[in-house]
Amino acid sequence: MKLQSYIAGAWVEGAGQGRQVVDAVHGEPVCTVTSDGINMAEAVRYARDIGGSGLRAMTFHERAAALKAIAKHLMEKKEDFYQLSFKTGATRADSWPDIEGGIGTVFSYASLVTRELPNDVVLVEGDMERLSRNGSFVGRHILTPKVGVAVHINAYNFPVWGMLEKIAPSLAAGMPVIVKPATPTAYLTQAVVKEMLSVGTLPEGAIQLICGSAGDLLDHLNEQDVVTFTGSASTGQALRNHPNLIANSVPFTMEADSLNCAILGQSVRPDDEEFALFIKEVAKEMTFKAGQKCTAIRRIIVPEESIDAVVDALSVRLAKMTLGDPTQEGVRLGALVSAEQADDVRSKVAELTSEATIAYGSDQAMPLVGLESNAGAFYPATLLRCENPLEAEKIHSVEAFGPVATVMPYSNLGDAVTIARLGKGSLVGSVYTYDDVEARTIILGTAPWHGRMLVLNRDCAGESTGHGSPLANLVHGGPGRAGGGEELGGVRAIKHYMQRTAIQGSPTTLMAITNEYHAGAREKHDVVHPFKKYFEQLAIGETLVTHRRTVTEADIVNFGCISGDHFYAHFDDIAAKDSFFGQRVAHGYFVLSAAAGMFVDPNPGPVIANYGLENLRFVEPVPAGTTIQAKLTVKRKIKKARRGDDKPNGVVVWAVEVSNQNQELVAVYDILTLVERQED
């Protein structure tokens, strides 16, 4: 079977015989893969003109709804993906973070976008910058989708998650994608893409798939495109230096395999809980996915007085990692992705033994559960031991991309930090200690060399996601050898596919561009109270100026009695005179309450509920005798998707300014209200 690509709205076969891909467990042919003859220029054009225009016409929330529908469908089809994943050599436990973790990442981004981004096609970032004395000239930053295509070149080890964690933020940003999976596991990626396309919630051209070589794809990219890469550092560097990418300054994000470390604190003793947690986590990260993880632990850094105990405990644990057919019950260590990969690991281990000895494991005798002979790509868990890590070079530069790690001693925390740094940049490092001072010393000493760091101890172990698990809301990437890139991290990932632009002009013009009120913009006044209007009837910049109210001594005393807040600045004349205020003042929260009393219409209307309060600042004190007045302005509107039988509604963000009789601001904040919509 020849694996098809999806290009310009159709499934197409590459020309020629292609490369044969075999089942990693049984050695049987699965498919052939080739992209020869595929028109890469047409794929790029189709993404830009068809997919991009369709995506950019959708709001953030509409894209999020499309992603959520896709994730729900993929979850319904997950068992089909698990069956295919067995052919890659992965056990079901290995495949869970790839398949369900990948789908979960799409769910996470759909939720995050709905929660944190506007229901609009432009993202406004940061506060307004006042650029002139009188405020008639202001600045703001906006982000808009790049008018190009995101090319995602993925590694073989996570054919589902590796694709979905990239395309979810790309599509959320409004940028179409071309996915180029690694050939050895492209058949699993293709199966997922087919199901994604069947949902039909995304515009045609939003997703394309190239199975096989990228060919001349990168030759057709320009300044509006983005390339991401996951894989070996050498391949990544070659792609990064592609002449066309350099000539057009095409953003290139690289996430490369790294020599990640796990550090056992010097305070930890073999009978401590943290020691057991360390052994469990290291063994898991060595063997999970047969060690084929960019986040796998490769260097095990331990106190010199504990190295024998660590080697013994790890050897016992690794001996329980049953090797064999991943479909068989009890098998905990599956196959590598291919015979070529197994040979590569074997050669790298031989290279590492010039500086280390084998403490556990050997590929000379590998009993395999469920298999009569070794036709697959198996390699056993192997633990190396290096006695002089500060003098070694290969253990800090050569990676055996399989179930292999090296344990090495340190004499003090300074040496532990130095050894960790010798990896020259990692995706993740982990520290195991119950001593918070020790944890701080190690983290601050090694953080500049790491994209993520985990501190694991008895307090968090029960709920920790572990050393090797990237999360959608935290950044994934690392400096130096790890590629210098950054993925995930919540909204940060979406912004990688958007252009940040500083805009300058009058507050009124910027309000029109951003759909957000800016202080000093032209206000709109109406005889109808804004709380009497439905969501659609409210205009950005619509303003209500309230009547005035003079704050009295009785107000301060009564509010203190009701709230229980008898802070000296409100009740102690002598202390207040000696304080920052110079006299007794009203409670800040009384000012908020009084302002609400002035601008709220008490009668039933479209306003359903108060939804929250943001950006509160008390600017000036309010002593008794101060006359206050509030101004309420529609700052931003967020249309919400209807849920069940709820009335259709949206969130209205109101900018509130409370001033005194001298027109000085005493409080500023935003309130959010849930307002009924007339349309469904």
What's the rounded Cα separation, in Å, for the pair 463 and 614? 31
φ, ψ dihedrals at 92, nearest 5°? -65, -40
**Under CATH, domain 260-472 is a member of which superfamily?**
Aldehyde Dehydrogenase; Chain A, domain 2 (3.40.309.10)
Q: CATH fold of 5-256+492-499, please? A: Aldehyde Dehydrogenase; Chain A, domain 1 (3.40.605)
Q: Which of 255, 281, 285, 399 does the annotation list as catalytic?
A: 255
- pLDDT value, residue 233: 82
Same fold, 5-256+492-499 and 523-676: no
Which candidate in 294, 386, 486, 487 is catalytic?
Answer: 294
Distance between CA atoms of residues 430 and 269, nearest Å: 17
- What pLDDT is recorded for position 375? 74
Contacts of 268 (CB under 8 A, 6+ apart): 274, 275, 278, 303, 306, 432, 433, 434
Percent of the chain with pLDDT over 90: 70
Q: How far lies 235's CA from each of 158, 230, 254, in Å?
A: 17, 9, 10
The one-character DSSP state at 542 is B
Cα separation of 51 and 53, whole Å?
6
Q: Are strands 150-153 and 177-180 parallel, antiparallel or unpaired?
A: parallel
Full-model pTM: 0.88
> Quick check: is 211 catalytic?
no
Segments making up each domain of the chain, as ranges: 5-256+492-499, 260-472, 523-676
User: Dihedral of CA 633/634/636/638: which sign?
Assistant: positive
The dihedral sign for the CA sequence 578, 580, 586, 588: negative
Residues of the chain with confidence (pLDDT) below 70: 363-365, 644-645, 680
What's the N-to-C CA distance of the chain in angstroms?
48
> Strand 260-264 relative to strand 543-550: parallel, antiparallel, unpaired?
unpaired
Q: What is the CATH number of domain 523-676?
A: 3.10.129.10
Beta bridge partners of 208: 178
Q: Which two tokens stand for residue 311?
A: 């080697």
Q: Which residues pair with 653 in a beta bridge?
A: 636, 672
One-letter amino acid of 492: R
Q: Up-side HSE of residue 257: CA atoms within 13 Å toward CB?
A: 24
Distance CA 211, CA 21 (A): 12
Assess whether 255 carries a catalytic annotation: yes
| Bridge partners, 268 (sequence order) | none
Name residue 524's beta-bridge partners: 542
